[in-house]
Structure 1
Amino acid sequence: MRNLHKIKLLYEKYLNRTATHEEVEELFMLLRDRNQFQHIHNIMEDEWERNDIDFSVENLSWEKVRSEWPTEQKISDVREMPIEKHAIWSLKIRKIVAVAAGVLIAGMMLWWWTKTNTKEYRTGFGETMEIVLSDGSRVLLNANSKMTWNTNWQNIQERTVQLEGEAFFEVSHQRMPVNNSSPDQKDSISLMPFQVITSDLSVNVLGTSFNVASRRQKTDVFLKSGEVLLVAKPPLPRSKNDEKKTAGPSLAKHMDSIYLTPGDHITYSGITRALERHEEKLPDEPTSWVDGFLVYENEKLETVLQELKDIYGKSFIMEDSTMLSRQVDLGLPYEDWYTVSELMSLSLEIEMEENNSEITVKKLEK
């Protein structure tokens, strides 16, 4: 509370242009606490109302500020105003500038908080990374992937991951108290949500294990155990067969949702809005890489090569394009590229000529 009072005093001095350089620095230091943002918002609104400024943070735009700013014609009109009106107009301009400056400070601090309260993990081609998050959840990050974890999860009571690439998650249970005025539910508890966000959708879970791959403008989700709720950014396509597994009302405007149960495997593209359900030949095929293998059963060679490109960063040129539709069965160790390419050549009876990261695939001449 003492800090909040200090912030109010410093902010008022900032608006009045009486703050020293040291006091502005102190204001920024105090604003580092993300939990103060709502209080700061309230302080700003109180200050604006006290100065008779009709303004809402939600409606702030530079267009509004510019519309209130005098043009050359307006400036000349101001010069011809009586002194009293001129002073009122100048005060109005100063207040508008103060509002914009105040929001700019809050925005800068929000950016600062976002950058300093996240931790980023990256993998290169051909490597994986085992990660234990601060909440106890375990993640295996696949090759050529990036994951960002919000380390402030305890304060905001929400666990959030941003994912580009592929990862396997084993989410831990984290309990949090429920604020409920009902006497019989006063001491009840709930599980803290865990959310994985990709460019196409968000995977919302409580405690479960699942695989998420976000590549080539689509997201692939395989649920191994537990239950997850997928929330898509554009609406999900609906069918009668999906009614039992699809949430009734939309969770938010322009969004829709679908539940997955163990064994469910879907691919969704936010661009094409195409939803595909997969019937797995092998129960754990989508997560075979977690155990150190790349397993493909009756899969198109084109699909295999796409995944190998994602993992190892290789580009493939087919001497005969009809080979891409060939159905193949492959079991490859998740090893270095040399081992993988040698086993592929032997198993598929093909020749692979490599030039830097570009590989030409040919049929083996008999």
Structure 2
Amino acid sequence: MIPDAAHIKQLFIKHANGTCTAAETAELLNYLQEEGSEEMLPMPDEIAGGMSGMLPMGNVAAERVLHNILGTGATPEVKRGKSVRLRWIGIAAAAAALVGAVVWLYRPGVKQPVLTAYSTVKGEVKHLLLPDGSRITLNGNTTLQYDSAGWQANKREVWINGEAFFNVAADAAGRFTVHAGSTTQVDVLGTRFNVLATSQQTQVVLNSGKVKVNISKGDNTKEEVVLVPGEMVAYQPDNNKLTQQMTDTLQLTSWKDGLHAFRETSLADIATMMTRQFGVKVSFAAAELATLQFTGTTPAGNLDVMLTILEKSLDLKIYKHGDQVVITKAK
């Protein structure tokens, strides 16, 4: 019997809302396993009510969702058909995230997580209060998620891409874990620290307390680092380089207080920060300009004022056109 497309769409909507019964879940699983049924898959915008901006989770995440349909962590022995089915599952899961809750497919007896997400646009700083009283400050172009349904003293977890400063509640019992990007896990208890997670590097700076940083390296090895106040650990996946050292915590975490503090910082490093936080592309009219060093403070959320301060302090002329910034010598 050929399934009705409207009925299948309703099953996906119910699943996204976490209201599928066991029988409906079994029906949905059977549908996904059928060969040649890709043409009947409802589009994600049908499920999300026409919402835009959906990004696929990728085959790895989609496989994980499919495993949860089956109710097991083991690799399922089922017919997959074409890879488009997996890609669609990932897109549908992302559609569910846009309506405020990403839920894993039905698993009997297991409470479904609800990922609550907070994000900032380029140049924005946002302050958050988590259920345990921990205070988080998000830098620009950052996303943080946590499981609001499963949040409890013995399992406090957040996921971050971008940069955030954490002030973990000291009187909240139990473990607090930060998943930074795809390589780093930070285990903390009653502490203040900064996490930067980008595709170029992951960096953890400890202001007070104690953290244990677990890093999955590109050579399939893992390394554990324990930080003391004033220390930083940084990992660059491109060259598999891991460094641990004492650092200037004021310079690396002052952004949370509305200022960027620089101490003999090269223009090349400042340009990298501007690209990350404001989304601009910075170029130098002469290579030696990138090596110039700046000491001082600038507003954290105002790119135009920052560029003006750099111009006057280093005798430069800086041109900004849209998302392009060109640094030249003053004439």
* Contact 1:217–1:270 under 8 Å retained in 2: yes
- 1:361 match: secondary structure: strand
Amino acid at match of 2:175: P
- Give 1:128's match in structure 2, choosing from 121, 125, 130: 125
1:255 to 222, 229, 237: 222
Which string of whole-angstrom CA distances, capped at 9 and with x for unpartnered residues, describes residues 110-143 of structure 1? 6xx9986111111111110000011110000001
Q: What is the distance in 2 between the residues matched to 1:149 and 1:133? A: 9
Contact 2:122/2:277 (8 A) holds in 1 = yes
1:159 equivalent in structure 2: 156
Deviation readout 1:206-228 (Å, 9 max, x if unpaired): 11000001124211111001000
1:228 aligns with 2:228: no
TM-score (norm: length of structure 2): 0.66
CA offset digits 1:215-253 (Å, max 9, x no partner) = 2421111100100000111289xxxxxxxxxxxxxxxx9
Q: Which residue identity lines up with residue 231 of structure 2 in the other structure?
A: D
**Match runs of 1:216-295 below 5 Å:** 216-234=199-217, 254-280=221-247, 282-295=248-261
Structure 2 unmatched ranges of 5 or more: 1-9, 23-69, 81-102
Give, in whole Å, the separation in 2 of the partners of 1:308 and 1:59: 44
What is the match of residue 314 of structure 2? 348
Question: Residue type of the partner of 1:265?
Answer: M
Task: For 1:1-366, list aligned pairs within 5 A.
Answer: 29=19, 57-61=72-76, 64-66=77-79, 108-109=105-106, 117-154=114-151, 157-173=154-170, 191-198=173-180, 199-234=182-217, 254-280=221-247, 282-365=248-331
User: Does structure 2 conserve the Cα–Cα contact (< 8 Å) formed by 1:161 and 1:195?
Assistant: yes
Deviation for aligned residue 1:149: 1.5
In the TM superposition, residue 173 of structure 1 has moved relative to its aligned partner by: 3.5
Q: Taking structure 1 as reference, are residues 133 and 348 closer, same or farther at Cα in structure 2, changes over 3 Å only?
A: same
Q: How many residues align?
A: 246
Amino acid paired to 1:233 = S
| Cα distance change of structure 1 residues 141 and 313 upon mapping to structure 2, 3 Å threshold | same
- Distance in structure 2 (CA, Å) of the matches to 1:126 and 1:66: 47
Tell me the SS of whatever aligns to 2:273: helix
* Gaps in structure 1 of 5+ consecutive residues: 1-20, 33-54, 68-105, 176-190, 237-252
Structure 1 contact 232–270 (Cα < 8 Å) conserved? no
Relative distance call for 1:303 and 1:230 in structure 2 (3 A) is same
Q: Distance in 2 between matches of 1:59 and 1:327?
A: 54
Cα pair 2:106 2:112 within 8 Å, conserved: no
Kindly state the Cα deviation for residue 166 of structure 1 after the two structures are TM-superposed: 0.4
Tell me the amino acid that sits aligned with residue 192 of structure 2: S
In structure 1, what residue type is equivalent to 2:143?
A: K
Cα 1:192/1:346, change in 2 over 3 Å: same
Identity in percent: 23
Does the 8 A contact of 2:113 with 2:150 survive in 1? no
Q: What's the C-alpha RMSD, in Å, of the aligned pairs?
A: 3.2
User: 1:286 aligns to what SS in structure 2?
Assistant: helix
- Quickly say closer, same or farther: Cα 1:158–1:317, change in 2 above 3 A: same
Q: What residue number does 1:180 align with? A: none
Output the CA distance in 1 between the equivalents of 2:324 and 2:204.
30
Q: CA deviation at 1:273?
A: 2.2
Based on CA coordinates, which of the two structures has the bigger radius of gyration?
A: 1
Contact kept, 8 Å, 1:160 with 1:196, in 2: the verdict is yes
| Residues 161-181 of structure 1 deviation map (CA, whole Å, 9 limit, x = unaligned) | 111100000001455xxxxxx
**Contact 1:235–1:256 (CA under 8 A) maintained in structure 2:** no
CA contact (8 A) 2:71 2:106 kept: no
TM-score (ref. length: structure 1): 0.60
Distance in 1, Cα, partners of 2:235 & 2:138: 20
SS in 2 for 1:284: helix
1:200, distance to aligned residue in structure 2 (A): 2.1
Displacement after TM superposition at 1:58 (Å)? 4.8
Paired position in structure 2 for 1:72? none
What code does the residue aligned with 1:257 have?
E
Q: Distance in 1 between matches of 2:71 and 2:124?
A: 49
Distance 1:309 1:338, change over 3 A: same
C-alpha displacement of 1:155: 5.1
Structure 1 residues 235 and 260, CA gap change in structure 2 (3 angstroms): farther
Using the alignment, how far apart are the partners of 2:251 and 2:113 within structure 1? 37
DSSP 3-state at the match of 2:239: coil
Given that 2:125 and 2:301 are in contact with CA atoms closer than 8 Å, whether structure 1 keeps it comes out as: no
Give the residue type in structure 1 aligned to 2:261: V
- 1:330 aligned counterpart, secondary structure: strand
